[in-house]
Amino acid sequence: MFWQSCIGDYVHMLTGIECHPFLCHYLMCKEATTFDPVDLEELLFLVGDYQVCFDRKAFCLVTGLRFGDYFHPSSNFSAFKEHVFPFVPLSCSVSMDDLTNVFNNSLYQLSNEDVVRVSLLYMLEQGFSEKYPRQPVTNERMALVRTVFDKIEDHLDPNSARIGSRHTYTLQGFVYAIKIWILETFPNNSIVGSPIPGVIPRVISYPRMRRLHAPNCECILEVTNRPLNELLKPTAHECAARWWIESVQWIDVAYYANV
């Protein structure tokens, strides 16, 4: 059941999700997006003489995650919550600590269907969003896994500033997708490592990557006298994938509806 879900391919990842924050930070410093982040549909960056765009199609091509109609959560997940997290009061939210506890210690007590749901939920909240232990699990995702979903709409949250003496920030959302997009777009990606040819979605094609320092990040984003790659054009294999076909149809309809 897990393999048949929208993130089933991620079982075949050759390494854990490593976001390389330095690399993402160096690119975010070149961000040109200035409009309302609530309606954000693409991220624009000015790199050298190039304007590069991370949009919905790029997200889909990199991750293999489908775009589709989004439904609002209902009370359908309450029975799932009560069954899987009986130790959490109904008036309280399920935290990442609660989810991790069930994932690590209680899966054997659940049905096969609930094991898949908990695994999907854990991958979304911990693997993709990198939530802290005390952060709540979102009701929307509880509702999604309740139906063993096969579609997902990407949410690129705006940067969240931290209050303190140092100027720091947290880039929320599925940051790993941005990192893979950088490696697929910029010409010096061999510094990190080469993907396995023909493996899709591209997010699972990269082997373990070495640690990156500031000079490495600067070199990867250096485009002087180096044209950007054209790797983000879908291959014949990707064009035939159901997740790409359905997502492109939905994205195009959504785009023209807003024109």
Residue 12 belongs to a domain? no
Residue 160 belongs to a domain? no
Confidence at residue 214, expressed as pLDDT on a 0 to 100 scale: 82
Q: How far apart are CA 176 and CA 127, in angstroms?
A: 9
Q: How far apart are CA 232 and CA 155, in angstroms?
A: 20
The answer to whether 223 and 254 are in contact (CB under 8 A) is no
Confidence at residue 7, expressed as pLDDT on a 0 to 100 scale: 65
The answer to whether 117 and 103 are in contact (CB under 8 A) is no
| Residue 80: domain span | 76-146
Average confidence score pLDDT of the chain: 76
Q: In this structure, are 60 and 179 located in the same domain?
A: yes
Q: In this structure, are 103 and 180 located in the same domain?
A: no
| Largest CA-CA distance found in the chain, in angstroms, rounded | 60
Q: Full-prediction pTM beyond 0.75?
A: no
Write the DSSP string, 11-71: GG-SS-----HHHHHHHHTTB---S-GGG--EEEEEETTEEEEEEHHHHHHHH-PPP----
Residue 196 belongs to a domain? yes
Q: In this structure, are 87 and 53 located in the same domain?
A: no
Query: Is residue 74 over pLDDT 60?
Result: no
Could you read off the pLDDT of 195-239 as tens digits, one per residue? 888 888 888 888 777 777 888 888 888 887 777 766 678 999 999
Confidence at residue 160, expressed as pLDDT on a 0 to 100 scale: 40
Sign of CA dihedral 141, 144, 147, 150: negative
Number of domains in the chain: 2
Q: In this structure, are 57 and 177 located in the same domain?
A: yes
Q: How far apart are CA 32 and CA 45, in angstroms?
A: 5
Instruction: Identify the CA nearest to 133 among candidates 169, 162, 161, 98.
Output: 98
Query: Is residue 57 over pLDDT 60?
Result: yes
